[in-house]
Amino acid sequence: MGEFKKGDFVRRTSGSSLHTSAGNHESGFVGQVSDLKFRGGTNDIIFTNGHEGIAQNYEPWQPRVGERVRVTIDANNQWAGVEEVTEIRNFIFIVSMKTGQFAGKPGGFYVRDLEPFLSTTATPEQPATLKIKAGKFYKTRDGRKVGPMAAWPDEQDCFKSSDLLCGGLWKTDGGSYFKGASDSPDLIAEWIDEPAAKAKASNDNAQPKFKVGDRVDVTGNRPYLISKIGQSGIVEIVHGVGEYTVKLDNSGSFSFIDAELTLAATPTTTTIVALIENGQPKPSSTPHVHTSTGAAEKEAKHLAAKHKGQQFGVFTLTTTHEEATTVYDHKWQNLAVLGLKIDAIKELRSITGMGLKSAKDAVEYFLDAA
């Protein structure tokens, strides 16, 4: 029955609804679908509060900045309470708790984890209406900056961005002129640049803390990613100073900010430098062991410059193998298995008084049996 189903949350996009004994509602109304009926040539939505409307005048509900919501993802009700959407960033909705255990704290969630706080009145309280003005910058629902705005001469009450966002056009209330077009998402608020003081003297040459390819550890997150703390990954995208997309080792790609990441420690190595003659390494009997390949490479370059014509190589210990040895009850037995046969014979004679041939035969018999 159309694009909606029972239980869906929807928002009215325009006009007035059908009139019922429960009354009617206007554009902006948010409700939950109770039933769907085809009658009079239209698909009609019946809401849980008794209101009704024609399906084509509604769209799937998406939280808006300033709207009250509830979190549904938390089975333990730790985030239970009334919240308000304060920011939308990369399809993540940042909400500020107003009541409950985490009152006053922010949390980030996907739309699937939220549901609207349904008003008992036909027309719920809406955020202040946005009014687009020429010369100003605005923020799209997905977090992009648009502007400065300029009136579009071909249409009344229509604006475009002087720095065109893929040719986008908007109405005076910030809504997309071409509803649903990917190149002109809804505008939700006037763009406010970060205060100069927060930017520390507004350094235009400021560089991101991390670069593409850096290996980083997740040390802190917004609550929706709390399970990612302790994981590591590689920086895939640098969105600007302070925000990154990181591909985690054991899961997908997620958005993080400077405060949530640290540069992963460079693993230590066991590395030596050795002279190479005829393709064969000839390490010193007591080579200096470096804890990084970089340090060993510096030593190799230094030695090559000092001993011109000679070749020096860097060798890194990658793995070791060891098998446990058997420890025998007597010293002569342990000497024998170590290959110290003469010492084993001497030790055996000293503790038994055996003759040389007898001691030698005893050691050889032991080695054959071992």
State how far the alpha carbon of 292 is from the alpha carbons of 251, 276, 286, in Å: 29, 20, 18
Is 3.40.50.300 the CATH classification of the domain at 215-263? no
pLDDT band at 116 (very low <50, low <70, confident <90, very high): confident
Is residue 33 classed exposed, middle or buried when 0-12, 13-18 and 19+ CB atoms within 10 A define those classes?
Answer: buried
Pairing mode of beta strands 149-151, 158-161: antiparallel
Does 78 score more than 80 pLDDT? Answer: no
Q: Would you call 117 helix, strand, or coil by DSSP?
A: coil
Q: Judge if 68-116 and 215-263 fold alike in CATH terms.
A: yes
Looking at domain 68-116, its CATH architecture is Roll (2.30)
Place of tokens 């998406």: 62
User: Sign of dihedral through CA atoms 142, 144, 150, 152?
Assistant: negative
Most confident range (mean pLDDT) of 54-58, 117-121, 166-170, 272-276 is 272-276
Helix, strand, or coil (residue 335):
helix
76 three-state secondary structure: coil
Residue 10 pLDDT > 50: yes
How far apart (Å, rounded) are the C-alpha atoms in residues 159 and 161? 7
Cα-trace Rg, the chain: 37
Per-residue confidence band for 176, with pLDDT thresholds at 50, 70 and 90: low
pTM above 0.85, yes or no: no
Average pLDDT along the chain: 77
For the chain, what percent of residues have pLDDT higher than 70? Answer: 73
Residue 238 belongs to what H/E stretch?
Answer: strand 232-240
Q: Could you give the CA distance from residue 57 to residue 74 in angstroms, rounded to a whole number? A: 32
Percent of the chain residues topping a pLDDT of 90: 21
Give 350's pLDDT tier (boundaries 50, 70, 90): very high
Please answer whether residues 281 and 300 qualify as being in contact, where contact means their C-beta atoms are separated by less than 8 angstroms: no
Question: What's the confidence (pLDDT) of residue 141?
Answer: 65
Provide the residue ranges of all domains of the chain, joining segments of one domain with +.
Answer: 9-60, 68-116, 138-190, 215-263, 271-316, 331-369
Q: Strands 280-282 and 271-277, how do they pair?
A: antiparallel
DSSP-derived letter for residue 264 is P
Please tell me the predicted confidence (pLDDT) of residue 331: 94
> And the tokens for 311?
């070749």
Q: Answer yes or no: is pLDDT of 36 > 90.
A: no
List the structure tokens of 132.
Answer: 């687009």
Q: Is 65 helix (H, G, I), strand (E, B) or coil?
A: coil
Q: Is the pLDDT of residue 123 over 50?
A: no
Residue 239 has pLDDT above 90, yes or no: no
* Angle, vertex CA 156, rays to CA 153 and CA 162, nearest 5: 45
Confidence of residue 343 (pLDDT cuts 50, 70, 90): very high
pLDDT at 323 over 60: yes
Residue 106 CA to residue 89 CA, distance in Å, equals 13
